[in-house]
Structure 1
Amino acid sequence: MANEYRGEVEVELGGNTYTMRPTMNAIAHLEAKGGSIRKLLSKFIKDDGSGRTVENDEWAVTDVMRILQAGFVGQGRDAPAPKDLGDLVMQTGAQALVVPCVEFLANCLNPPKREAAEADHDENPTDGAEA
């Protein structure tokens, strides 16, 4: 299960759920293989000129693979084997992986703040009580 306070993101690959973790090692892995995270993120989303963020279609399947690999850095047996990642992406479909990849990149740049997560929980309790 992903820890939202750490900015972790769950991703489903080949019918299994894995957790991507935004760490300095993940960031270093991404940037060593292709420039800044902001540049990579801009392949997936962009400003439409009116201040709204919209999808961008400049990403490639190799970008998705690179993000997944970075998200799994240092996780050992809790992550899919690197040699299996390509097949898992093909089984799942690269388009289905865009949202978790974008969320992961955003969390690498600006991890969620614990206070904000707690405030959201206070406003939206999930204890099943009706107002």
Structure 2
Amino acid sequence: MGDGAKARRVYEDAVEYLCRNVDAVRELIGPALWDAHFAVVRDAEPATTEWRDSVRALHDAVEAAGIPGGLGLRPTMGVGNWPGVPMPQWPGAPTPQSTGWVCPTRRCARVDLRDGALPDTPTCALADRPMRLVDG
């Protein structure tokens, strides 16, 4: 994964966190910052400067409101987790599942893995649309 792909993944992960906690974040940072930046995150083309700047603004607002690490744009690094270096696959590690739902707008890295048959398709909290099924 190149540096650009790594950076995009960090922003997608931040938007995933936002997606999973949309109501709490909205309440935490207040309507002025929320209204100014959420619409851009929801509607702008992902990975554009405008989109990244709005994700960063929401991250900064969450961090300023007292959530350490904000939306998670500052990646933490540890052994085997340096930028651009893939995580090793350890013997006996579980096989990744490849069936589940992903963001319908491709704005975040959220994946809801399908464990058996679920009665309803999850809805994207950002776009208010059904998530897209990926069947591996």
Give the TM-score, by structure 1 length: 0.31
Q: Which has the higher contact order (CA 8 A, sep 6+)?
A: 1
- Structure with higher helix content: 1
- Structure with higher strand content: 1
